[in-house]
Amino acid sequence: MYISKSSVILTTAASLASALNFAEYSNKEFDAVKRNLPDIEIIKPRQALCPAVWTQVATELSTTFLNTTDLLCNDDARAAIRAAFHDCASWNTSVTGGCDGSLILAPEELTRSENNGLQNIGPKLLALTQKYQAIDPSVTAADMIQFASSVAIVICPLGPRVQTFVGRNDSSTANIEGLLPDVNAPSADLITLFANKGITAAELIALVGAHSTSKQFHVNETQVGAPQDDTPGTWDVDFYADTTSKPTGVFVLASDASLAADPQTSATFQGFVGNQGKWNGAFTPAMTKLGLLGIAGGSTGMIDCTSVVPLPRVVPRSLVKSQPIMDRI
Ligand code: HEM
Ligand SMILES: *[C@@H]1O[C@H](CO)[C@@H](O)[C@H](O)[C@H]1NC(C)=O
Ligand SMILES: *[C@@H]1O[C@H](CO)[C@@H](O)[C@H](O)[C@H]1NC(C)=O
Ligand SMILES: *[C@@H]1O[C@H](CO)[C@@H](O)[C@H](O)[C@H]1NC(C)=O
Ligand SMILES: *[C@@H]1O[C@H](CO)[C@@H](O)[C@H](O)[C@H]1NC(C)=O
């Protein structure tokens, strides 16, 4: 067995580690994956140490997001990643709100059609917030939502560790409706919508790659659970190829098809096809930025808790065999 920094995961999520067969993963494969991850050594806690409670949260969430049967990330994981997006992105530079926990604290927000699909994960994240707030009152719903997303991403095979801060304030005032993207909006409108949140077109293309682990439940209710790529339990780049090639069984969102075809974004979109390292490198900083929308000063004064987000999983080849990822990177 190859002993590496990733063996830390054994102590942070013993149940998870025991479910995995690390021995199946060779040195060569591990190095191939590691080369394409952000350099975790340079991510250092800044203003203060991460409160100890987040280590406990990470352990619980690691179990929550893993399907112990197929060892892929599960429906709660994909919903948590989307929840992080929806809490923050119901905001633009001329309004207040953003990453403030209101998605789960303001009862109205989850009832909106724009949040359809988040009605199961919302109360789970709220219950976790309350549970861990009782242990450490510094825990906020806004932080729980972003932290859960980071754990969910890394529990998906091939998922990277996203730099993750805590220190957000909560608000139970609902954010403005209508600032989340419409699946039927043309690419130009989507690009403008995100630009008004300070997210560039290139960052948007990296972020929609989260549809690598996505399933649709409400766009077409005759195809409930249809995924947006052929491997929704894996954080791979098949989404970027599948959006154009539309394999049988894959449900391509109109918004993704539009962004893939737009001359302003198509080269960026195609650039991620078959290039896991390039996507991870673009996705992780964009996701950190998304997790700070609406917070004056950004990460200034916040606490870097990246070190307690589990390390990327060392996954057996059998989990990614349907796509020759290891041969491509
Ligand atoms: C142009 C921008 C976007 C549009 C129009 C869009 C639209 C959608 C739609 C319509 C669904 C299916 C929901 C359902 O039917 O239940 C979905 C799912 C999802 N989206 Fe997006 N999305 C966008 C960007 C993003 C971003 C930036 C992220 C995260 C970084 C994200 C993460 C997800 C995830 C993880 C799911 C799967 C949820 C689940 O399976 O429960 N999306 N999105
Ligand atoms: C776990 O994975 C198995 C095999 O793919 C699937 O049948 C089952 O529904 C999944 N369970 C959950 C809770 O997602
Ligand atoms: C949280 O609220 C306090 C009090 O209003 C403020 O001083 C602080 O800057 C806020 N923190 C963030 C991260 O927005
Ligand atoms: C932000 O959203 C509000 C409410 O929809 C809208 O009136 C305003 O024009 C938007 N501002 C920007 C910069 O997009
Ligand atoms: C939903 O999917 C079904 C089955 O593929 C299709 O016949 C129908 O036209 C779709 N509905 C919409 C609104 O796209």
Q: Residue 144 belongs to a domain with what CATH number?
A: 1.10.520.10
Is residue 249 one of the residues assigned to a domain?
Answer: yes
What number of residues does the chain have? Answer: 329
Note whether 22 and 62 are same-domain residues. no
Residue 218 assigned to a binding site: no
Residue-level pLDDT at 288: 98
Percent above pLDDT 90 for the chain:
80
Residue-level pLDDT at 99: 98
Note whether 143 and 289 are same-domain residues. yes
Is residue 48 one of the residues assigned to a domain?
Answer: no
Domain that holds residue 313: 53-328
User: What is the 222 CA–ligand 5 centroid distance (Å)?
Assistant: 7
State pLDDT tens for residues 289-321.
Answer: 999 999 999 999 899 999 999 999 888 777 775
The residue type at 326:
M
Q: Which ligand approaches the C-alpha of residue 89 most closely?
A: 1
The average pLDDT across 282-292 equals 98
Indicate which residues carry an active-site annotation: 86
Q: What is the pTM of this model?
A: 0.89
Count of domains observed in the chain: 2
User: What is the 43 CA–ligand 3 centroid distance (Å)?
Assistant: 24
User: What is the 70 CA–ligand 2 centroid distance (Å)?
Assistant: 7
3-state secondary structure 101-162: CHHHHCCCHHHCHHHCCCCCHHHHHHHHHHHHHCCCCCCCHHHHHHHHHHHHHHHCCCCCCC
Note whether 214 and 293 are same-domain residues. yes
Note whether 89 and 24 are same-domain residues. no
Cβ–ligand 1 distance for 90 under 6 Å, the answer: no
Is residue 47 one of the residues assigned to a domain?
Answer: no
The average pLDDT across 215-226 equals 97
State pLDDT tens for residues 75-110.
Answer: 999 999 999 999 999 999 999 999 999 999 999 999
- Whether 189 has a pLDDT exceeding 60, the answer reads yes
Residue-level pLDDT at 322: 54
Note whether 34 and 146 are same-domain residues. no
Residue-level pLDDT at 149: 99
Note whether 248 and 179 are same-domain residues. yes
Note whether 152 and 242 are same-domain residues. yes
Residue 229 assigned to a binding site: yes
The average pLDDT across 235-258 equals 98
